Amino acid sequence: MQVCVLGAGIVGLATAYELHQRGLAVTVVDQAQPGAGASGGNGAQLSYSYVQPLADAGIWRQLPKLLLSPRSPLKLRPQWDVHQWRWGVEFLRACNRRTSEQSTRQLLALAALSRHHFDAMLQTEALDCDFSTTGKLVLYDTPAGLAAAGRQMELQRPWGSRQEAVSAQRCVEIEPALAHYQSRIAGAIHTPSECAADCLKVCLGLQQRLAERGVRFVLGARVHGFAREGRRIVAARTSAGDVEAQQFVLALGSASYQAAQTLGFRLPVYPLKGYSITLDTPDAPGTAPHVSVTDAARKVVFARIGRRLRVAGMAELVGHDDSIPPARIDSLCKATSAVFPGCSNF
């Protein structure tokens, strides 16, 4: 059977890898190079235990500050877009305790499955992707924030999540680079088993392995529709010509909505825009973290990937605007200077 995977990000490539492992003929199509989208500059943390949905009951009390504060990590740009408003209503409907707990349980199961397959793939393929298992600290600046995180931790415990609440002093023992920041920390949730990796390197490594084994790549080809015979899809229409297959996988990220729309499906998917910077780490000990760190108040994550530090954060609902405002990058730089001043080599 011939399968066409649309999208050469981490999801598309991992899907292509699994399909090839099962003996199927695979073609991967993307408008750019592998990992060129969100896979290329994401937070780099493999956070298998941090699956609390964004749509949580607690969002209601945070919403005014998130939407109105000029320093908010969340930005909403309302548009004359029915899809945006429909998605927003569906998101708010999910912001209740029952739905959040149900989603948490399902996401933990999915994360465990993802970890199993990713670890097996790394062991088999020996990809050079700066992989590490150094754990993760999520920092809270108020006792109330820490208490809420503790309740989420206890909720997840029966479902296999292994975490612990730790003091500010213990945070510094786990990650000495936080020593100067200790006074700003009320406490943290520590997960020793969490990992980090360079997602772009994973993508490029997978592409190389798959191409060597006969998987076909059609890159630089934009998908603009599908050819059908009756109710059956027989080809993806691309700028490089038709790509025929018996089965098709949509792995186009937020662009999957438009692709599915041409087939008459409405996927509940809307783009969430974030930003990242990647810094070289200084040689001086105790300046750059080895443990992954998330500053919950700033909504910024830090991950060590080899001799580099990935800093990522913010969340913007601005449609498909891919511009990079300097103010957002400046916010990441300021967060880095505050939490890890020894890494402020901008």
- Compute and round to an integer the Cα radius of gyration of the chain: 21
Q: What is the pLDDT of residue 206?
A: 98
- Same fold: 1-42+199-269 with 45-197+270-346: no
Q: What is the pLDDT of residue 183?
A: 97
Q: What is the pLDDT of residue 65?
A: 74
Specify whether the backbone of 220 is left (phi greater than 0), alpha (psi in -120 to 50) or beta. left
Q: What is the pLDDT of residue 188?
A: 99
Instruction: Report the CATH fold assignment for 1-42+199-269.
Output: FAD/NAD(P)-binding domain (3.50.50)
Token duo for residue 40: 């290329």
Task: Provide the strand spans (E) within 149-271.
Answer: 164-166, 187-191, 195-196, 216-219, 223-229, 232-238, 241-244, 247-250
Q: Provide the greatest CA pair distance for the chain.
A: 66
Dihedral sign, CA of 156, 157, 161, 162? positive
Q: Where are the domains of the chain?
A: 1-42+199-269, 45-197+270-346
Contact 200, 187 (CB under 8 A): no
Q: How far apart are alpha carbons 299 and 295 in whole angstroms?
A: 6
Q: In the 8-state DSSP scheme, what is residue 50?
A: -
Q: In the 8-state DSSP scheme, what is residue 132?
A: B
Q: How far apart are alpha carbons 101 and 80 in whole angstroms?
A: 33
Q: What is the pLDDT of residue 204?
A: 98
Q: What is the pLDDT of residue 154?
A: 95
Contact 14, 35 (CB under 8 A): no
Q: How far apart are alpha carbons 335 and 43 in whole angstroms?
A: 14
pTM score > 0.75 for this model? yes
Q: List all residues 6 or more positions away from 310 whose beta carbon is below 8 Å from its beta carbon.
A: 41, 43, 44, 276, 277, 278, 301, 302, 303, 304
Q: What is the pLDDT of residue 109?
A: 96
Q: What is the pLDDT of residue 284?
A: 85
Task: Provide the strand spans (E) within 66-150.
Answer: 74-76, 136-140
Q: How far apart are alpha carbons 235 and 319 in whole angstroms?
A: 28
Contact 225, 239 (CB under 8 A): no
In order along its 346 residues, the chain shows pLDDT tens digits of 999 999 999 999 999 999 999 999 999 999 999 999 999 999 999 999 999 888 888 878 877 777 777 667 677 788 888 999 999 899 999 999 999 999 999 999 999 999 999 999 999 999 999 999 999 999 999 999 999 999 999 999 999 899 999 999 999 999 999 999 999 999 999 999 999 999 999 999 999 999 999 999 999 999 999 999 998 999 999 999 999 999 999 999 999 999 999 999 999 999 999 999 999 999 888 899 999 999 999 999 999 999 999 999 998 888 889 999 999 999 999 999 999 999 987 7
Instruction: Report the CATH fold assignment for 45-197+270-346.
Output: D-Amino Acid Oxidase; Chain A, domain 2 (3.30.9)
pLDDT in tens, 1-38: 999 999 999 999 999 999 999 999 999 999 999 999 99
From the list 162, 184, 160, 158, the residue with the least C-alpha distance to 171 is 184
